[in-house]
Chain A
Amino acid sequence: MKVHAPATVNEACEMLARAAAEGRTLRPLAGGTDLLVHWPSKSAAHEGEYLDLSGVSELRPLVWRDDALVLGALTTYWDVVREARVAAELPLLNAAARQVGAVQIQSRGTWAGNIANASPAADGVPVLMAYDAGVALRSSGGERVVPLSAFYTGYRASVRRPDELITAIEVPIRSRDVAVFHKVGPRRAQAITKIGVAITRLAGSGADRWRIVANSVAPTVVRCREVERLLDSGARITSAGGFMPALQADISPIDDIRSTAAYRRTVMGRLLYHSLLGACSSVV
Chain B
Amino acid sequence: MACEDGRAMEVRLTLNGKPVRVEVDPRERLLDTLRYRLGLTGSKEGCGEGECGACTVLMDGVPANSCLVLTAQCRGRSVRTIESVDAKALGPMLASGATQCGACTPGVVMTALWVKENPGLRDSHTLRELMAGNLCRCTGYDGIIDGLHAWVESDARSGGAA
Given contacts A39-B67, A52-B72, contact A2 B2 (CB under 8 A): yes
Contact of A188 among B62, B68, B72, B132 (CB under 8 A): B132
Is A68 interfacial (CB 8 A cutoff)?
Answer: no
Q: Across the interface, which residues of B come within 8 angstroms of A81, CB to CB?
A: 124
Contact of B63 among A37, A107, A189 (CB under 8 A): A107
**A side interface size, CB within 8 A:** 34
Given contacts A37-B49, A104-B133, A188-B132, contact A1 B26 (CB under 8 A): yes
Given contacts A2-B2, A78-B62, A108-B64, contact A52 B70 (CB under 8 A): yes
For A42, the closest partner residue in chain B by CB is: B27
Contact of A33 among B50, B72, B132 (CB under 8 A): B50
* Chain B, range 51-75, C-beta contacts under 8 Å to A: 51, 53, 56, 59, 62-65, 67-70, 72-73, 75
CB A8 to nearest CB in B, in angstroms, measures: 12
Given contacts A36-B68, A52-B73, A107-B59, contact A1 B50 (CB under 8 A): no
For A41, the closest partner residue in chain B by CB is: B48
Cβ B1 vs Cβ A1 within 8 A = no
Is B3 interfacial (CB 8 A cutoff)?
Answer: yes
Cβ A37 vs Cβ B72 within 8 A = no
Given contacts A102-B132, A190-B132, contact A38 B73 (CB under 8 A): no
For A46, the closest partner residue in chain B by CB is: B27
CB B36 to nearest CB in A, in angstroms, measures: 12
CB B120 to nearest CB in A, in angstroms, measures: 10
C-alpha spacing A103/B126, complex, angstroms: 12
Q: Across the interface, which residues of B come within 8 angstroms of A41, CB to CB?
A: 48
B66-90 vs A: 1/0 string, CB under 8 Å? 0111101101100000000000000
For B55, the closest partner residue in chain A by CB is: A104
Contact of B48 among A7, A31, A40, A52 (CB under 8 A): A40
Is A158 interfacial (CB 8 A cutoff)?
Answer: no
Given contacts A5-B2, A104-B63, contact A190 B26 (CB under 8 A): no
For A7, the closest partner residue in chain B by CB is: B1
Cβ B53 vs Cβ A102 within 8 A = yes
C-alpha spacing A5/B2, complex, angstroms: 6
Residues of A within 8 A of B (CB): 1-7, 29, 31-33, 36-41, 46, 52, 54-55, 78, 81, 98, 101-105, 107-108, 188-190
